[in-house]
C-alpha cells in the first residue's frame, strides 16, 4: 500500500540530546514537509523540501535540521538547541504541483524527560 510512514510513534529524549525522526513515503511525491502540532494550536511548518537535495526553512525552523538525500526520505533532527521540543511531529508529502493537498504520516510524539 502506498503511504507515508513515520517512526517511531513515541520517542522520549533527555534534555541536551539530539534525536532524529524518520519519515518515508512511497507515493512518488516530490514535496515533503515537517509540521509541529501543540495543544490548542494549528500545525506549524518546520521545514519543507520540494526536490531532492533541496529544502527550505518554514516558520519555526530554529533548533531543527533536515536532509533530503532521497526522494522517499525526509528525516528531521531535533537538536538540543530546540528550547521546547515536546510536541506531536507530523510529516507530510504532496505532489509538487500547485493547489494539491498534503498526505500525512501517523506522527511521532516526542517527549523530553
Partner 1 sequence: RKEVEQDPGPFNVPEGATVAFNCTYSNSASQSFFWYRQDCRKEPKLLMSVYSSGNEDGRFTAQLNRASQYISLLIRDSKLSDSATYLCVVSPGTGANNLFFGTGTRLTVIP
Please report, as ranges, the residues that interact with partner 1 according to CB under 8 A. 31, 33, 35, 40-43, 45, 48, 50, 56, 58, 88, 90, 94-107, 109
Q: CA-to-CA distance for 41 and 63, rounded, in angstroms?
A: 19
Calpha distance 95→63 (Å, rounded): 27
Nearer to partner 1, 65 or 80 (CB): 65
Q: Smaller CB distance to partner 1: residue 31 or 80? A: 31
In the complex, the smallest distance separating the C-beta of residue 16 from partner 1, rounded to whole angstroms, is 27
Q: At its nearest, how many Å lie between partner 1 and the CB of residue 44?
A: 8
> Nearest Cα to 93, choosing from 84, 101, 102, 82?
102
**90 vs 110 by CB, closer to partner 1:** 90
C-alpha cell at 40: 490548542
Amino acid at each position: 500500500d502506498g503511504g507515508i510512514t513515520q517512526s517511531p510513534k513515541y520517542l522520549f529524549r533527555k534534555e541536551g540530546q539530539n534525536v532524529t525522526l524518520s519519515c518515508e513515503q512511497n507515493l512518488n511525491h516530490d514535496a515533503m514537509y515537517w509540521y509541529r502540532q501543540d495543544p490548542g494550536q494549528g500545525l506549524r511548518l518546520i521545514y519543507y523540501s520540494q526536490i531532492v537535495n533541496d529544502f527550505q526553512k518554514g516558520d519555526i525552523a530554529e533548533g531543527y535540521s533536515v536532509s533530503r538525500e532521497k526522494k522517499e526520505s525526509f528525516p528531521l533532527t531535533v537538536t538540543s538547541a530546540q528550547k521546547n521540543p515536546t510536541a506531536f511531529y507530523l510529516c507530510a508529502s504532496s505532489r509538487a504541483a500547485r493547489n494539491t493537498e498534503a498526505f500525512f504520516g501517523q506522527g511521532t510524539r516526542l517527549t523530553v524527560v
